[in-house]
Amino acid sequence: MNCLQNLPRSSSVLSSQSFRIQSAIQPCFVNMTTIHYEKWLMNATDLRRNCLVKGTPSSTSSIEMEGAKESEEKSDVYSTNMTEAMGAVLTYRHELGMNYDFITPDLIVGSCLQTPADVDKLRSIGVKTIYCLQQNSDLEYFSVDIGAIREYASTFSDIQHLRAEIRDFDAFDMRLRLPYVVSKLHKAVNRNGGITYIHCTAGLGRAPATALAYMFWVQGYKLQDAITLLLSKRPCFPKVDAIKSATADILTGLKRKPVTLTWKGDECSTVEISGLDIGWGQEGRYEYKYVVDGNWVTNNNELLTPANKDGQINNYIQVSDNDPESVSSALWERLGADDFDLTTNERDVIRQFLDDCPDDE
């Protein structure tokens, strides 16, 4: 299954009602019924059968049912938001418990741990490193007690729980954070060995993207080969463009270029610029809008996007090196190719960056 990339939903002060990204793709429908869900459903069927035979529900069943209903409602909302933000029809059912897939024999991508008991499940299959990419707000939404999970994991000498936060549904935050996140992962794998479990909330965006970058930068896969393998093991929607951009950022030394935007007009008192991505100095394409005296407007003297399905139009800027002979220009041109791969020297540069990258960004 091949899924095209889409721009992220606003994660800044911009409201989704007033500023939406132009969707350049049709939805990509994904079947999220993995073998681990099937096992859960089989167990659930057996459990219901046993309940019918053994007796009536306990007095706490109504409380449990209310909790299950609340979890289902939160899953519905999260799935809707994820589909809107990712540009693909994706579903996450938190109430079904942790689900995961082996991408390679030593690399697993999955959904979040929900209780300390999930640590035991992962230890039983040989996991040595649990790598959580969730922010605290993600954990709080589904009432996950990360403190209890980490405390329980710390009682064992054969498994380590690590965290490195990436903002959900935000491709630009992914681009900025990915080099440091993969560096921490790389060092943990070298230290702990064994199987590594990478997870975000649903295991459909941040976790597969991190695994993909690790396979590409560290394990020596060609990018397209890594994508094909990943999607053959787990239906998901990694932001490939963010990985390509992060690759260019490392190889160009996080090179920045000044950007100047101008609003011409005397009949206003305040002019602000708000965009989906902060850090426009790095190469790439960025959308934004002007806020003039509190009103959201576009500048007709600058580049405009086509109207999206809600009729919204944004300004955009393409930040690039003007010198066609420069290293960064040539690299960005190569990044656009379907068969893009790193040279031996580029792989050495990236691995050195990952080795030297400080643990605290």
Catalogue the active-site residues.
200
CA distance 235 to 202: 11
Paired tokens of 155 = 């009682």
As a whole number of angstroms, the distance between CA 143 and CA 140 comes to: 5
List residues bridging with 104 in a β-sheet.
107
Compute the distance between CA of residue 185 and CA of residue 202 in angstroms, rounded to an integer.
19
Distance separating alpha carbons of residues 198 and 124, to the nearest angstrom: 16
CA-to-CA separations, 350 to 47, 193, 251, in angstroms, rounded: 50, 21, 7
Q: How far apart are alpha carbons 72 and 49 in whole angstroms? A: 22
Q: How far is CA 70 from CA 64, 140, 259, in A?
A: 10, 14, 47
